Structure 1
Amino acid sequence: MTVHKQPEYQLHINHPAPPDYPSKGVQDVFATEPFSQSYAERRTAFLEFWRRNPAPDSNKAWYYELVRLEAGGPAHLGIFYAACDYIDARIDCADFVLHSIIRTLYQYPEHPHIHSAMLDRAKRTALGFKYWPDEPGQDSLCTWTENHQILFNVGAYLVGQLYPDEVFQNAGQTGREKMEQTRPRILRWLNLRFRTGFSEWLSHVYYDEDLTALLSLVDFCADEEIARKAAQVIDLMLLDMALNSFRGVFGSTHGRSYENTKKWAAQEGVTDTLKLLFGMGVFSGFDNMSAACFALSQNYQMPEAIYRIATDLERPEMLNQQRMGIRLDQMERWGLHPDKLEDGMILLSLEAYMHPRSANLMVRMLDAFNWWDNSFFTPFKENQALIRFGRMTGLLRPLVTVLERDVTRNTREEVNITTYRTPDYMLSSAQDYRKRYGGDQQHIWQATLGPNAVVFTTHPARRDGKSPNYWTGSGSLPKAGQVDNVAIIIYDIDTGPGLYVTHRLRFTHAWFPRDQFDEVIEANGWVFGRLGDGYIALHSQQPYHWNEEPGEDAGRELIADGKRNIWLCECGRAAVNGPFADFVAQVSRAEIATSGALRVTYHSPSQGRISMGWDDPLTQNGKPLVQRDYPRYDNPYVQAGFPAKDIVVQAGGASLRLDDRGKRDVG
């Protein structure tokens, strides 16, 4: 389950709803084609849907009450006070909630339903919050990941801008001082995102948070440079979503993802946003706030070129390759140094906690910010004596180097992404990404045929518990290689000692929900699925069996025993492969040759002879294929180098031109 949908992250509402407040929700229908070509009509549909429905049961509920105000309805003021209580209590993800209060203060201070007592409470809450880990107070806020850093810093900046001469009670700084402190952090974050993309790459959970913070800047920041660069990064995030989504499903590889968001599209954090902006998806409100911010935004308008990419549904094939993130062995290239606390926060946006290059700095941060008692760092506190001894003796770096595959499982370095999309399916993967390292929430590959007709594999880290667990993250990451509609996924499970994951499960498994396909056939070691005119074939080198135990996974999970395994996936469609029976026959007869060295050669009916080994490159018909050092973008609509300087997008006669100096031309 998405972590911030768990009970401890919910609002506690102690005031009754207003008269005529909707008591029961009306479920929306998932749209796999644009339900309207007009943004104005889509926005009206969004506003009307949430006027007729109660706010979702999440800490993001006040955003939807602002939508209700915009739509002409009375807001549930109990949700407002519960949101302020949540922020005042400094519960993790309070920064998510904070931006709904900031939007209230900036956009709705004159609204007849927002009375003076509410504005006073919002002001006290905003000025009393803890915005950075060096401020006083013990808590378990997560302030350091990529999305949290922009939310906290933008929040502090905008509250300071609104109250320049007021004092932030926790920090003892004036609003102007807060602005001076946070402005360089915001610009550094924006510049790095423009040039290199996201360490939380293509996250269908955390793009929602980033977009919310950036929309706050575009709508309310008086600094033109910041506002303009924020709009640029929004453009690029929406471009990412347009290129790597399939008919309302953001079904790509992800830097961060959870079990439920991978399995069920209606629980993605951005599905409401996809439907509002692209017309495909569903208004679920499950864990979304950016859709509300887009609908309420007075300053941001999505470029037409991005909409045309997302809705280019009849293009026979689209190949997108792009690079995101940075490598820790190149940190100095990006102006980062492993002895500076401020740079340490940037390194933690990659979650490089106990990486050999950052471990000693991490111990300094644990001390400086009193993080030993932050619940997120419980594993460090449990090993505090060992960590301190290692730092004192100079042995910490050698120690974490020995344990690197386990203790850096959260770390997200540079990724090279391949996404291949047709009218009937999409296949996406992270190429040869940190093979055999542990994985926390990374999602390496996925095939998508429909909202819930998705297929992927993982090596489960543990049976249950926090991430990484059975479906979220990985015990050991695979090596993945993709040639258009064909993917090879090789596992060689690390069974060495670990501090985070101590017991290694010796099997891999696949999510293949039989009940979500029109047809499922098994033949010659392959499992085939059809949804409409889209086809998928999945093969395991090791014998597999279906999980038939009671529960959500029954009839949907394939299990293959063994610490080593090779999975093959090939997708097809009626327009290319003919009837489903022909696709089954073609693939099931294809020659597969494997060796004990974890090498496979697959004679694909569509792509020819494809080979890859654990230590051997991906090849097609004997020719090595590139799996690293991709451009920032390379697809039919945009080609841009890495790091990006100029990005020109062209689609269907519309254009978007951006550069690293802040230029933004929409045509």
Structure 2
Amino acid sequence: MTDGPFAANASQPTYTVANGETVTAWIVSDLLETSFPGTAAPAEDRVNYRFINGFVDVGDLPCRKAFQQTMIGRDIAPETGFTVSHLNLPGSNRRVEFTGFWHVPTHVQRWLKGTFRSDAARQAHFRLCTCGGVRIWVGGVEQVRFEPFIRNVESSRDITLDLAAGDNEVLLLCEDLAERDIIWFFELEVVDAVPLTVVLPVPLDREETKRLAALVRDVRPAREVFSGAALELVFGAAPASDLPVHIAVKSHGHERASLAEVDTILKAGQSTLTIPETTGISDGYHGVKITMGSGAGTVTRVIDAAFMHDIAPEASNADINGRKKAALSFSARFGAWRIGRALAMVATGSDDIETIGGIVDATLHSIDRREDCSDFVMIPLLWLVRAYGDRLPAKMRARIDASILGYRYWVDEPGNDVMWFWSENHVLCFHTSQLLAGEYLPDAVFAASGRTGREQAALAADRLERWFDSVEAHGLAEWNSAAYYPVDFIGLLAIEHWAGPELAARARHQIDLIFEMIALHTLGGVPSGSQGRAYDKELRAGPLTELAPFAQVAFGQGWLNNGVASLPMFCCGDYLPPAHLAALSQLETGRMVEARYAQGLEPGKLVLFKNEAAQLSTVVDHKTGRKGHQQHVMDIKLAGHPMARLWVNHPGEDDPWGTQRPSYWAGSGILPRVAQHRDLAMLIFDTQNHRNDWTHAYLGRDGLDEVLVEGNWLITRSGRGFAALYATNGLQPITSGATANREIRSPGRRAGWVGIIGCGDVAEFARFQEKILATQISFDAESRLLSVTPPGGAELTLTWDGAFTIGGQAMAFDHDQPQPEITFDSADPASGGAAQPFYS
């Protein structure tokens, strides 16, 4: 969609939309939200305890069935006088998107309007895609009604609009039922040889809207992390006149806390904006909503920024029990407004009943509404009341008991909520909640099920046995996930502490295994590596994840933050990770470690190589050529800086700040073929017919001391850690826009990438560069064969079909157990030359 010729009326900017492009210039209404719970009923129990990454067999919930029955085909009067929220202007996203998260079932709507200009009466042809439902009126007459209303499933249909000669007022309604996370958008693609002219009926001229579009499209934070500094924004353009700007910073945590609200001015000719009021806000990877302009000329953009009070790891107690005590005190003082903080406060003897009571009230509100993710807070609430109930006011304890008895603990109990019962972590947390609640109130009757607490506990124990049977046999589908390991800990730590001996022992074994995997994939205090499910915040701000404090407490290096989903339970309980794991987390100089193991059904086959200052991690042979979800397939972490990180992926969406699954950075649109041996990884991409016909690398630039581009090679250093990336189709560093200096693209649907790590001093970095530049690499796009020959080493080959060889010898991945197989110091000459790393 491009700027069109000047309109006759200069106040009406015009855009030309050619065949294959999408209409993204619209005037957008305020969000309309209406509760839509449907009728309470049991849901179909499809949980078979076989957890597959990226797939959950849910079926339609009662609220969705009621929504489809009620909404499809109903009479709707066109809303022409709606309150304008903002302009949607052409940018990086082909879609017009309203994706978000609602904790309870909610009918959501947006009205949009624009003008389609035609030189003569004609039929204009489009392809309409949506998650939700769309209706379109032209000149007040309804012409399109497309209402699939299938949750988070994209549907498409070819449509025709009858346009009169001249200006045609187009009104569009986009709506859906929000069930927790909702992918909500429409995409109107022109499939017509005749370009479409779109006019925005707003009191702005063409140049003003062009500048606004550039401002919101290209804005980015000035650095990857703001340490003791105010947020600074960089714009890709400067306004011609002073522009009002509103900044709202919100936490990405479940509490969605508002951290800063600021009205300011972007001065004429100014392309950077500093927000002093953000200095000293709480550590975290936060959402930043930027609203620019006023009235009908308002545009918005949501980006993210990381804040840390200190990028240096905190000094920690040499004794793990001392670290537990310190972390519990930190959580009590600085934790997020969640029940884990109240648990920490009561456990440390706080008498701040106002704060404790406020957190408990918010928690009970979530539980009583049966909000999605309320199972995550039910467990620490039960820990609080069972361990420290005598320290709570009697009235508060009575309210807690009432909420526990009124909750819905599984799909077989009637409900009209959108609580997510089906995924690996939620299954665990619901069953654990049911067990702890039933044991706490054994003789009381639970309202939703009609069972006594004793009956609830017995049923939960049976269900937990099935959950453990699955994960003990297959491992965790959400491997290494910095987002979901802390959620797994919610259930597992509670079982280990409160359940009977058999279940407690099984939980303890699983916790030991998770801590082993964390130790293996932690470098410089930052848990990282390939992940089964990742979001941008887990990748771009590793020390700020909820998992990072677990590494700090368990292994003695890293950072504490306000994450309290499960850390206070770890610190309150008696469980201690195996003592030898600390040495895996922090390798001594000259040491190396490798690990191979499998996790989940359709398993993630994981390979790790780590030295003292660099770490390379991949998942190999994982669903090659299929649409990705949130799998982070290749990861490089360097120890010199907490943000020193690189990875390669195929973007799953258009918008660098998007939130789809997969997104621009987290996950892959089409999953590659991957192989790794020691310190070298090979990736083959075939993006097929995906509209993003390129792949790219993320560069944690602020954490890197040296960055060199030599031909197809990117070579970097952070402290004593080295990394190199090679792209067979060449490198295109992005130097402007939202990803400036952080993204390096490589064109082409078929491409090979190579990732290599090393470590040492300055002289060793020079030798590393020499070896890298002497490496021979070839890629045959037609046969999809990638070949790498290190200097003085054997040739490595990888095919799209999965054949991986070294020196002509087939290298099969045969480590199919969840328990990591660990090898130390393969570089030792005694291990044999063929087993040695290539560059370390």
Q: How does 1:177-576 map to 2 (within 5 A)?
A: 177-221=455-499, 223-285=500-562, 287-297=563-573, 299-314=574-589, 316-326=591-601, 413-450=602-639, 451-463=642-654, 464-495=658-689, 504-551=691-738, 553-574=739-760
**Aligned equivalents of 2:461 and 2:441: distance in 1?**
16
Q: 2:829 aligned with 1:625, yes or no?
A: no
**Aligned equivalents of 2:598 and 2:451: distance in 1?**
39
The letter for the 1-side match of 2:702 is D
1:409 is matched with: none
Asked if the contact 1:478/1:491 (under 8 Å) is kept, the reply is: yes
Per the TM alignment, residue 6 of structure 1 is displaced from its structure 2 partner at its CA by: 7.2
Pick the aligned partner of 2:340 from 63, 66, 75. Answer: 63
Pick the aligned partner of 1:44 from 317, 325, 330. Answer: 325
* The structure with more strand, counted as a fraction of residues: 2
2:245 is matched with: none
The letter for the 2-side match of 1:507 is W
Distance 1:526 1:210, change over 3 A: same
After superposition, the CA RMSD in angstroms is: 2.5
Distance 1:590 1:107, change over 3 A: same
Per the TM alignment, residue 538 of structure 1 is displaced from its structure 2 partner at its CA by: 0.6
1:646 is matched with: none
| CA deviation vs aligned residue, 1:60-84 (integer Å, no higher than 9, x gap) | x220222123233325121110011
Asked if the contact 2:815/2:821 (under 8 Å) is kept, the reply is: no
Asked if the contact 2:722/2:757 (under 8 Å) is kept, the reply is: yes
Higher relative contact order, structure no. (Cα contacts within 8 Å, ≥ 6 residues apart): 1
Asked if the contact 2:726/2:754 (under 8 Å) is kept, the reply is: yes
Per the TM alignment, residue 483 of structure 1 is displaced from its structure 2 partner at its CA by: 0.9
**Aligned equivalents of 2:445 and 2:411: distance in 1?**
18
**Aligned equivalents of 2:822 and 2:560: distance in 1?**
29
Per the TM alignment, residue 191 of structure 1 is displaced from its structure 2 partner at its CA by: 2.9
The letter for the 1-side match of 2:343 is L
Per the TM alignment, residue 157 of structure 1 is displaced from its structure 2 partner at its CA by: 0.9
Q: 2:406 aligned with 1:131, yes or no?
A: no
SS of the residue aligned with 2:812? coil
2:451 is matched with: 173
SS of the residue aligned with 1:635? strand
Unaligned residue ranges in structure 2 (runs of 5+): 1-98, 102-180, 182-249, 259-279, 284-307, 825-840
The letter for the 2-side match of 1:296 is C
Task: Percent identity, please.
Answer: 27
Asked if the contact 2:546/2:561 (under 8 Å) is kept, the reply is: no
The letter for the 2-side match of 1:47 is L
Distance 1:34 1:433, change over 3 A: farther
SS of the residue aligned with 2:670? coil
Asked if the contact 2:336/2:564 (under 8 Å) is kept, the reply is: no
**Aligned equivalents of 1:64 and 1:425: distance in 2?**
34
Asked if the contact 2:377/2:565 (under 8 Å) is kept, the reply is: no
1:98 is matched with: 378
Unaligned residue ranges in structure 1 (runs of 5+): 14-22, 327-412, 496-502, 638-667
Asked if the contact 2:380/2:566 (under 8 Å) is kept, the reply is: no
Per the TM alignment, residue 543 of structure 1 is displaced from its structure 2 partner at its CA by: 2.5
**Aligned equivalents of 1:304 and 1:34: distance in 2?**
19
Distance 1:243 1:7, change over 3 A: closer
The letter for the 2-side match of 1:603 is T
Asked if the contact 1:524/1:588 (under 8 Å) is kept, the reply is: no
TM-score (norm. length: structure 1): 0.74
**Aligned equivalents of 1:624 and 1:324: distance in 2?**
23
Per the TM alignment, residue 444 of structure 1 is displaced from its structure 2 partner at its CA by: 0.7
SS of the residue aligned with 2:577? coil
| CA deviation vs aligned residue, 1:480-535 (integer Å, no higher than 9, x gap) | 1001110001101132xxxxxxx632111111122220110111211111001111
Asked if the contact 1:428/1:446 (under 8 Å) is kept, the reply is: yes
Per the TM alignment, residue 472 of structure 1 is displaced from its structure 2 partner at its CA by: 2.2
The letter for the 2-side match of 1:581 is A
**Aligned equivalents of 2:754 and 2:546: distance in 1?**
29
Q: 2:580 aligned with 1:580, yes or no?
A: no
**Aligned equivalents of 1:188 and 1:2: distance in 2?**
33
1:615 is matched with: 801
The letter for the 2-side match of 1:488 is M
Asked if the contact 1:607/1:620 (under 8 Å) is kept, the reply is: no
The letter for the 1-side match of 2:469 is N
1:405 is matched with: none
The letter for the 1-side match of 2:779 is T
| CA deviation vs aligned residue, 1:135-162 (integer Å, no higher than 9, x gap) | 1111111111111001000100110011
**Aligned equivalents of 1:235 and 1:257: distance in 2?**
22
**Aligned equivalents of 1:11 and 1:452: distance in 2?**
24
* The structure with more helix, counted as a fraction of residues: 1
Per the TM alignment, residue 186 of structure 1 is displaced from its structure 2 partner at its CA by: 0.4
Per the TM alignment, residue 420 of structure 1 is displaced from its structure 2 partner at its CA by: 0.5
**Aligned equivalents of 2:626 and 2:577: distance in 1?**
38
| CA deviation vs aligned residue, 1:368-414 (integer Å, no higher than 9, x gap) | xxxxxxxxxxxxxxxxxxxxxxxxxxxxxxxxxxxxxxxxxxxxx21
SS of the residue aligned with 1:579? helix
Distance 1:434 1:268, change over 3 A: same
Distance 1:31 1:148, change over 3 A: farther
Asked if the contact 1:599/1:616 (under 8 Å) is kept, the reply is: no
| CA deviation vs aligned residue, 1:599-635 (integer Å, no higher than 9, x gap) | 1211124854211121251111221112245343211
SS of the residue aligned with 2:795? strand
SS of the residue aligned with 2:523? coil
Asked if the contact 1:509/1:557 (under 8 Å) is kept, the reply is: yes
Per the TM alignment, residue 289 of structure 1 is displaced from its structure 2 partner at its CA by: 2.1
The letter for the 2-side match of 1:41 is G
Distance 1:193 1:635, change over 3 A: same
Distance 1:288 1:504, change over 3 A: farther
Asked if the contact 1:39/1:277 (under 8 Å) is kept, the reply is: yes
Pick the aligned partner of 2:363 from 69, 78, 83. Answer: 83
Asked if the contact 1:600/1:612 (under 8 Å) is kept, the reply is: yes
Which has the higher Rg, Structure 1 or Structure 2?
A: 2
Distance 1:39 1:178, change over 3 A: same
Asked if the contact 1:161/1:175 (under 8 Å) is kept, the reply is: yes
**Aligned equivalents of 2:775 and 2:593: distance in 1?**
25
**Aligned equivalents of 2:595 and 2:486: distance in 1?**
22
The letter for the 1-side match of 2:372 is D
**Aligned equivalents of 1:229 and 1:459: distance in 2?**
38
Worse-superposed segment, 209-218 or 43-52 = 43-52
Per the TM alignment, residue 12 of structure 1 is displaced from its structure 2 partner at its CA by: 8.5
Asked if the contact 1:33/1:279 (under 8 Å) is kept, the reply is: no
Per the TM alignment, residue 315 of structure 1 is displaced from its structure 2 partner at its CA by: 5.4
Distance 1:30 1:192, change over 3 A: farther
Asked if the contact 2:594/2:823 (under 8 Å) is kept, the reply is: yes
Worse-superposed segment, 150-159 or 85-94 = 85-94
